[in-house]
A and B are shown apart, each in its own frame.
Chain A
Amino acid sequence: QSVLTQPPSASGTPGQRVTISCSGSSSNIGSNSVNWYQHLPGTAPKLLIYFNNQRPSGVPDRFSGSKSGTSASLAISGLQSEDEADYYCATWDDTLNGVLFGGGTKLTVL
């Protein structure tokens, strides 16, 4: 079980807005920025959000990130079928002195 807690699954219909949460503690999310990755089977994970709420070039503005205290969220608006993937949060942990990944959330577009 990961130190960063994500719901194992999420779902929505095309056009809907979905959010995925990532809950941690003071030694990780509480004191470090959060990054989000999109992972489709058979491909390399893709950086989706960095520094809590920044989008790399090429990532649609339908994807947004936020952080409050020891929790973070990824929001996807205008859900599309191609958004169906696994999503992971990641951050640095000051106690571990290393990188933590959340357990991952499988997003299904109904």
Chain B
Amino acid sequence: QLQLQESGPGLVQASETLSLTCTVSSGSIISRSHYWGWIRQPPGKGLEWIGNIYYSGSTYHNPSLKSRVTMSVDTSKNQFSLKLTSVTAADTALYYCARKGGGGLFDYWGQGTLVTVSS
């Protein structure tokens, strides 16, 4: 059973960079059929797609986050990562990593990690 686990600081200062890593286990991140994605849920709100990365490094991200998002992949560690720059209180959320199939299909999810932006 594929497993994903998010890791990273739970508290980030406003205007700084949020950095999270997702470690994939019981399966390979090198998959021609899947992307690897980030989704977040602000407190009291719904799910928001952040972006996806392929094992080769190609990415898609939500235009609403403009150029603040950077994603990377490390196939040797079976990990992929998210960086979100210039964070504000609006970036406080539960951040999930997930495996993405076609379209909006996310079939395996991490448990999520809460990131709070402090001013």
Q: Which residues of A contact B (CB under 8 A)?
A: 2, 32-35, 37, 39, 43-47, 50-51, 56, 86, 88, 90-92, 96-104
User: Is the CB–CB distance between A88 and B60 below 8 Å?
Assistant: no
Q: How large is the interface on B (under 10, 10 to 19, 20 to 34, 35 or more residues)?
A: 20 to 34
Question: Please, how many angstroms separate the alpha-carbon atoms of A56 and B108 in the complex?
Answer: 11
Task: Please indicate which of the listed interface residues A34, A98, A99 has the most CB atoms of chain B within 10 Å of its own CB.
Answer: A99
Chain B residues in 8 Å Cβ range of A2: 46
Q: Which applies to chain A's interface (DSSP): helix, strand, loop or mixed?
A: strand
Partner of B63, one of A46, A88, A90, A96: A96
Question: Please, how many angstroms separate the alpha-carbon atoms of A34 and B107 in the complex?
Answer: 13
In the complex, 10 of the A-B residue pairs with CB atoms within 8 angstroms, ordered by the A residue number, are A35-B104, A35-B105, A45-B39, A47-B107, A51-B102, A88-B47, A98-B51, A98-B63, A99-B103, A101-B48
User: Is the CB–CB distance between B111 and A101 below 8 Å?
Assistant: no
Q: Quick one: closest B residue to A34, CB to CB?
A: B104
- Tell me whether B61 is interfacial, beta carbon within 8 Å: yes
User: Is the CB–CB distance between B106 and A47 below 8 Å?
Assistant: yes
Q: Quick one: closest B residue to A88, CB to CB?
A: B47
Question: Please, how many angstroms separate the alpha-carbon atoms of A50 and B60 in the complex?
Answer: 21
Chain B residues in 8 Å Cβ range of A97: 60
Chain B residues in 8 Å Cβ range of A90: 47, 49, 103-106
